[in-house]
Amino acid sequence: MKAAVLREINKPLEIEDIAHGDPGPREVLIRTVAAGVCHSDLHFQNGSYPYPLPAVLGHESAGIVEAVGSDVTYVKPGDHVITCLSAFCGHCEYCLTGHMSLCQEPELQRPMEGPQRLSKGDETMWQFLNLSSFAEYMLVHEHAIAKIREDMPMDRAALIGCGVTTGVGAVIHTARVEVGSTVAVIGCGGVGLSAINGAAIAGAARIIAVDMVPSKLELARKFGATDVVNAKDCDPVEAVRELTGGGVHYSFEAIGLKVTAEQSFKMLARGGTATIIGMIPVGTNIELHGPEFLMERKLQGSNMGSNRFRVDMPRFVELYLQGRLHLDDLISRRIKLEDVNDAMKELEKGEVARSVIMFD
């Protein structure tokens, strides 16, 4: 099968012919139909987050089940599924207390001493975040997929696999935004737009979108933003505090930068909560003014929207089909696997929401 392989940091992905194994007892082979090109892929390509190489990137995807292992009962060949990088074991402390997105149990991968899921001749290819969806097929643990209805368009379903779940989930699960509250979202890429959409679904009364690209701010209005702030023209903290008369109840940082993380905290009202969604590079420290914690302001992280993805993803599908989750406008363009490096460059420019790879 063809796959996009990262062999060196800061180098283009190489389209290569590699092999996948046969499904083990609890594994599922999926024919990839669509895969979003996410900012997280860029973070690993440019070395912000170290990862063993060579690796097949991609983690935001949807496809059709081709084959299942002997112990799999959840899906059968022909089922439509969305993948999720936060695979869960189902029996660790995190899973049993409802925090499945924090599960890191090694049983979700194959033992290192045996054959791996991906290979090229005698060379092992590292599977990226339990998935490796920049490939024509994915061989994954059964706990890395959610079954969905077959009338859901697969290009839009793929977006639910990461960006939408991360953004909407941060609002409804991590922060638990209350009806009638005020919200600010810094960064209007795919995740930020999904957070804005999630805040609208949650019933926030005022949703302020912050970005430096006018076209993205305009798009944010379609997703539910009631106000927009161009951070290139003003101090976004002062602008948000002025719009709300003192700060927002909830803020979300969806870029992954030190400065915007600190801004998300500073634009809070007393008692407010800032949630960091973006992937801040390894080695970066966030600096905050200590006395502000006396105002009961809170700073917290979110991993994949604190999801329960087998429950959440089918629900997000329903919200899309009802017209409440705005996935159509998230897709900037549909491309082929061979165009993946162009899509990665577009992400660096920060002017697109998502490119989606469509497989034949």
Active site residue 162: yes
Active site residue 38: yes
- Across 308-331, average pLDDT: 96
CATH 3.40.50.720 placement within the chain: 176-301
The residues pairing with 334 across neighbouring beta strands, listed in sequence order, are: 356
Q: Give the residue among 139, 254, 274 at the shortest CA–CA distance from 192.
A: 254
Dihedral sign (CA 169, 280, 55, 5): positive
Phi-psi region of 224 (alpha: psi -120 to 50; beta: other; left: phi over 0): left
- Tell me: the pLDDT tens digits for 201-254? 999 999 999 999 999 999 999 999 999 999 999 999 999 999 999 999 999 999
Task: Tell me the whole-structure pTM to 2 decimals.
Answer: 0.94
- Tell me: the pLDDT tens digits for 114-149? 899 999 999 989 999 999 999 999 999 999 999 999
HSE, CB side, 13 Å, CA atoms: give it for residue 95: 13
Q: 186 and 350 in contact (C-beta within 8 Å)?
A: no
Active site residue 89: no
pLDDT of residue 39: 86
Q: Give the residue among 143, 169, 138 at the shortest CA–CA distance from 60.
A: 138
Active site residue 40: yes
In CATH, what is the architecture of 2-162+306-358?
A: Alpha-Beta Complex (3.90)
HSE, CB side, 13 Å, CA atoms: give it for residue 158: 30
CATH 3.90.180.10 placement within the chain: 2-162+306-358
pLDDT of residue 352: 65
What is the Cα gyration radius of the chain?
Answer: 20
- Across 246-269, average pLDDT: 97
- Which of 84, 95, 103, 162 is the catalytic position? 162
Q: Give the residue among 253, 245, 171 at the shortest CA–CA distance from 204.
A: 171
Residue 58 burial (C-beta neighbours within 10 Å; 0-12, 13-18, 19+): buried
Active site residue 43: yes
- Which of 20, 43, 80, 249 is the catalytic position? 43
In CATH, what is the architecture of 176-301?
A: 3-Layer(aba) Sandwich (3.40)
- Which of 39, 59, 141, 173 is the catalytic position? 59
Q: Which residues of 221-239 are buried (b: 16+ CB within 10 A; e: fewer)?
A: eebbbbbbbbbeeeebbeb
- Which of 40, 132, 133, 251 is the catalytic position? 40
pLDDT classification of 353: cutoffs 50, 70, 90: low
pLDDT of residue 347: 83
